Amino acid sequence: MSQQKKSGYHHGNLRVALLDAGFRSLETGHLEDLSLRALAKEVGVTPTAAYNHFADKMALMVEMKTEGFRRFDDYLTARLDTVKEACPEDKVRCLGRAYMAFAFEHPGIFNLIFFWTPEQKYLTDALAQAAACGETLLKDIVAEMLQVDSVELNDYQKSVASFSAWSMVHGTTLLLKTGVVDAVTYCGNWPAEFSSQNRESQSHILEHLLEIQIEGLKRVLPSVKP
């Protein structure tokens, strides 16, 4: 069986197969458990064949982080495609919901792209460009939303708006994923509806936070100066 798998790979296909195997490993294990040799065994090739595509584990992880950002961006874009005819505000809400949904549906990829950073010498242009795609998407939609109210933004204001919206959704996502919100509700500081165990209530709370974010951007952003 392993010989049949080996003969089935053409140039370039093995690289993709190894990346896919790496992502499957992340969904069930931990980043530190990744091994090129183990991935090679899983897809049915020799370690030498795997090392022909990735010099070492670091090269594999950098490529996985790059591809992880691309998959994240594709996920967000696909969700936005479902609301093509919606108003810009609803697109912003859609993007916020999609961001959180991806984190819970694909925790391995989410943790890789946001919690692991290679040393400076291993950073690549491809990784930087992939990491920036989601922010570009958000910035354009927020600017579109504010233009509806005749608010024209300069580059600094657009960046602040993007940073603010991104920080809110990302921070909310992390507080829920890491159990901090559960600790606060357990201590009685917040009502039980805030618990991460109640996904329906989470969605409701996220809608409130998005509404506050949107209205805040509309009212405050025009006065923000560098």
Q: What is the rounded average pLDDT of the residues 99-115?
A: 95
pLDDT confidence of residue 148:
84
Q: 81: which 2 tokens? A: 């495609």
Q: What is the rounded average pLDDT of the residues 68-75?
A: 97
Q: Are 161 and 181 in contact (CB under 8 A)?
A: no
pLDDT confidence of residue 12:
59
Q: Which DSSP string do the residues of 101-139 spell out, in sequence order?
A: HHHHH-HHHHHHHHH----GGG--HHHHHHHHHHHHHHH
Residues 6+ apart with CB under 8 A from 89: 145, 148, 214
pLDDT confidence of residue 149:
76
Q: 86: which 2 tokens? A: 């919606």
Q: What is the rounded average pLDDT of the residues 23-34?
A: 88
Q: What is the rounded average pLDDT of the residues 204-224?
A: 91
Q: What share of the chain in percent tops pLDDT 90? A: 72
Q: Which of the two residues, 29 and 104, has the higher pLDDT score?
A: 104
Quote the mean pLDDT of the chain: 90
**Per-residue pLDDT reduced to its tens digit, 126-183:** 999 999 999 999 999 998 998 887 778 899 999 999 999 999 999 999 998 888 989 9
Q: Which of 169, 44, 28, 182 is nearest to 95 (CA)?
A: 169
Q: What share of the chain in percent tops pLDDT 70? A: 95
Delineate the domains of the chain, giving CATH numbers in brackets.
Answer: 1-54 (1.10.10), 57-223 (1.10.357.10)
pLDDT band for position 59 (50/70/90)? very high
Q: Count CB neighbours of 156 within 10 A.
A: 11
pTM: 0.89
